[in-house]
Chain A
Amino acid sequence: MAYGSKLTTDMKRSDCIKALYPELADRLVVTIMGACAQELYDLGDRDNFFYLQHAMGLASSIGLGLASSLPNQKVVVLDGDGSVLMNLGTLATLARYGPPNLTHIIFDNGSLLSTGGFASHTTSGITDLAAIARGAGCPKVFAADNNYQFLEACAEAFDSNEMCTIVAKVEAVGPDHFGMDIALPENAFRLKRYIKSITNHESRITH
């Protein structure tokens, strides 16, 4: 059935991202395409945000590349069940290298919402991404079914000295509009320049 409505959650991804938004101000944020990117963008675009508009499955790989290259920066990846299912190997790679400065948040709406709302493999809990992440060896995995659990998991993850994975069950609903005024290369140039500016600043402080 479309739109994954059998999921037993009343948590919305947009509420989760809204609650997180103030915490994202000084973190490097990589988000997947579609509804997730739009909801973050609508809260206020920032230079430290990277919207991966395609290449499904690679948001966590970009996060790994950023986090392991920049051990003094905090990196947050906003991922989705459809994207993670396209690159399950990433959970094992993340587990093997586990940069402590990386928080991997997977919004699991059981649906390929942005491409027609077809049920994904996680619909009705058939596939348990948190269990897969644990089995892959990810050191700290949280499963959140409501806003309280989600925020508690995020607070712990942002404070943690280990890489954290948060699987948040959310409703399969998205924004009523799509459109972002940022070209793809512009987004990459901007993030690269932002990172250069903060790491230069950092080295000035250190030396």
Chain B
Amino acid sequence: MTVSRDNSLAIYRGIKAAGVKSISALPETWLVYLLQLAEDDPDVHLIEVAKEEEAIGIAAGAYLAGQPHLLLMQNHGFLAAINGIVSLAMSYRIPLCMLIALRGHWGEPYPWHTQGGIHTEPVLRALGIPFEYARDPAKVGLQIKQALTFAQSSLSPVALLLDRELMED
């Protein structure tokens, strides 16, 4: 498996076109090119966290400061961040625009990813977090823009699940 450089660039272009000014992230294989692009971008402030729940606090601070913010994480990181999402973002009506690498789903060869992959969608549904799958590089830019717009208007967390079809060549 190789991570798609071209599709990562399509995603990053979408992030920029949506007007994102700061990104919080925890490095993961599918996100490697996205993080490199963010690191090299002087107009985007990137904060890499030690654990994904921190990113919920950072996103809240950026939102309160009026800065459009995007969270990049693996689905296992999303699962690790749930208390922050519920107790901070949902309780205070703070929008979160989460781009989540959906590991452990259709086509997954690695056993250690599979349980997280199987349970990501049911957990999103249980939490009432609106989500969509991103599979098509031609559509992902619009999906990111719509995710950010919807998060900000609904004052809610929203998730765009980055699927294998998009992330791997």
**A65 contacts the other chain (Cβ, under 8 Å)?**
yes
Q: Is the CB of B88 within 8 A of A52?
A: yes
Of the four ranges (under 10, 10 to 19, 20 to 34, 35 or more), the interface on chain A belongs to 35 or more
Residue of B nearest to A185 (CB): B93
**B67 contacts the other chain (Cβ, under 8 Å)?**
yes
Chain A interface SS verdict (over half): helix
**B139 contacts the other chain (Cβ, under 8 Å)?**
no
Considering only CB atoms and an 8 Å cut-off, how many residues of chain B contact the other chain?
33
CA distance A58 to B67 in the complex (A): 19
Chain B interface SS verdict (over half): helix
Chain B residues whose CB sits within 8 angstroms of the CB of A43 once the complex forms: none
The residue from A50, A54, A58, A92 contacting B64, defined by CB atoms under 8 A apart? A50
Query: What's the minimum C-beta distance from A133 to chain B, rounded to whole angstroms?
Result: 14
Chain B residues whose CB sits within 8 angstroms of the CB of A61 once the complex forms: 49, 53-58, 60-61
Q: A-side interface residues toward B, CB under 8 Å?
A: 30, 50, 52-55, 57-70, 87, 89-90, 92-93, 96-97, 184-185, 187-189, 191-192, 195-196, 199
The 4 closest A-B pairs by CB, nearest first: A65-B61, A61-B57, A89-B50, A69-B65
Known: A54-B88, A69-B66. 14 other contacts (CB 8 A): A54-B91, A55-B57, A58-B57, A58-B88, A61-B53, A61-B55, A65-B60, A65-B69, A68-B62, A185-B92, A191-B64, A195-B64, A195-B65, A195-B66
